[in-house]
């Protein structure tokens, strides 16, 4: 059974940093691209970042470029999101998701339960 379990969220002050982790199991982690998707309270979904299966390529939405870093440790089957210079607008539930690429387009076939990040003084 595919499982994605996020951890590391909580309350953080504006301008500070936080690192999220996502432990994967039930599939061969290093065969899949992985992503982070966020959802502000009572709002829609926003793709945040994607990392290729081997970590060689990363992609970010403009609003987090230069502040967030997606990474992975394939030996530990773990995905990370380092979030620096946090802003109040980063407040959201962050989901780890497995990305599938059957052809020329992508979708997310498994999602974690999500972890809440609240940026507030």
Partner 1 sequence: DIQMTQSPASLSASLGETVTIQCRASEDIYSGLAWYQQKPGKSPQLLIYGASSLQDGVPSRFSGSGSGTQYSLKISSMQTEDEGVYFCQQGLKYPFTFGSGTKLEIK
Binding residues for partner 1, per CB under 8 A? 44-47, 50, 59, 61-62, 95, 100, 102-114
Nearest distance, CB of residue 43 and partner 1, angstroms:
9
Q: Say if residues 96 and 111 touch (Cβ distance below 8 Å).
A: yes
Q: 14 vs 40, which CB is nearer to partner 1?
A: 40
Q: 16 vs 107, which CB is nearer to partner 1?
A: 107
Burial of 56 (0-12, 13-18, 19+ CB in 10 A): exposed
Nearest distance, CB of residue 30 and partner 1, angstroms:
21
Nearest distance, CB of residue 94 and partner 1, angstroms:
11
Q: 72 vs 112, which CB is nearer to partner 1?
A: 112
Angle (nearest 5°) at CA 74 between 105 and 60: 45
Phi, psi of 95 (to 5 degrees): -110, 140
> Which token pair is 72?
């992975």
């Amino acid at each position: 059974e595919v499982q994605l379990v996020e951890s590391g969220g909580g309350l953080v002050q504006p301008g500070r940093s936080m690192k999220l982790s996502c432990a994967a199991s039930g599939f061969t982690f290093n065969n899949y691209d992985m992503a982070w998707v966020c959802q502000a309270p009572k709002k829609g979904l926003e793709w945040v970042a994607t990392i290729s299966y081997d970590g060689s390529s990363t992609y970010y939405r403009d609003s987090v470029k230069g502040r967030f870093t997606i990474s992975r440790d394939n030996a530990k089957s773990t995905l990370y999101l380092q979030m620096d210079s946090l802003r109040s607008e980063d407040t959201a539930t962050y989901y780890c998701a497995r990305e599938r690429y059957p052809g020329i387009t992508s979708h997310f076939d498994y999602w974690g339960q999500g972890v809440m990040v609240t940026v507030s003084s």
